[in-house]
Amino acid sequence: MDFSLTIDNRAGIADMTFEQATGGNLANNIYLSLTVRKGSFFQNPDFGSRLHLLQRAKNTPRTEALAVEYCQEALAWLIDTGRVRKFEYFTERDKLQDPHRLKIIVEATKADGDVVSFTRFVEVV
């Protein structure tokens, strides 16, 4: 599954700064951080993740470890900015029902103690 970020000039989105684009709610920040390909965001080439690289990887424990590493890398800015105190990552491989999909669950503990849970599926071979 491939996601892309669409820029709508009519709404003034193209004129947004990086801080404005990422200043939304935490679930939206996590979603964008994990789905935007690293290096493709024009204002900050370090923004995004490398999860798209797993599309050619086999559904193995090594791929699970890489997925967690890529998530940690993509979401580090939320800890650096103080929006999140800590992240916990969980992965699930369902080799019986859908062997070509890896489930990643991210639990973010916000600075105020609330926990936000986010689920992302990554297609693998």
Give the Cβ contact number of residue 52 at 10 Å: 19
pLDDT above 80 for 20:
no
2 part of a folded domain: no
34 part of a folded domain: yes
3 part of a folded domain: no
Per-residue pLDDT tens digits for 101-122: 899 999 999 988 899 999 989 8
39 part of a folded domain: yes
17 part of a folded domain: yes
What pLDDT was estimated at residue 59? 87
75 part of a folded domain: yes
What pLDDT was estimated at residue 21? 52
pTM equals 0.76
CATH code of the domain in which 104 resides: 3.10.450.40
Identify the sign of the CA torsion 41, 47, 53, 59: negative
Q: How many domains does the chain have?
A: 1
What pLDDT was estimated at residue 25? 85
* Structure-token pair, residue 2: 């491939």
Per-residue pLDDT tens digits for 44-74: 888 999 999 999 999 889 999 999 999 999 9
Domain that includes residue 26, residue range: 9-123
113 vs 110: CA distance, rounded Å: 5
pLDDT above 50 for 84:
yes
What pLDDT was estimated at residue 2? 37
What pLDDT was estimated at residue 99? 80
1 part of a folded domain: no
pLDDT above 60 for 1:
no
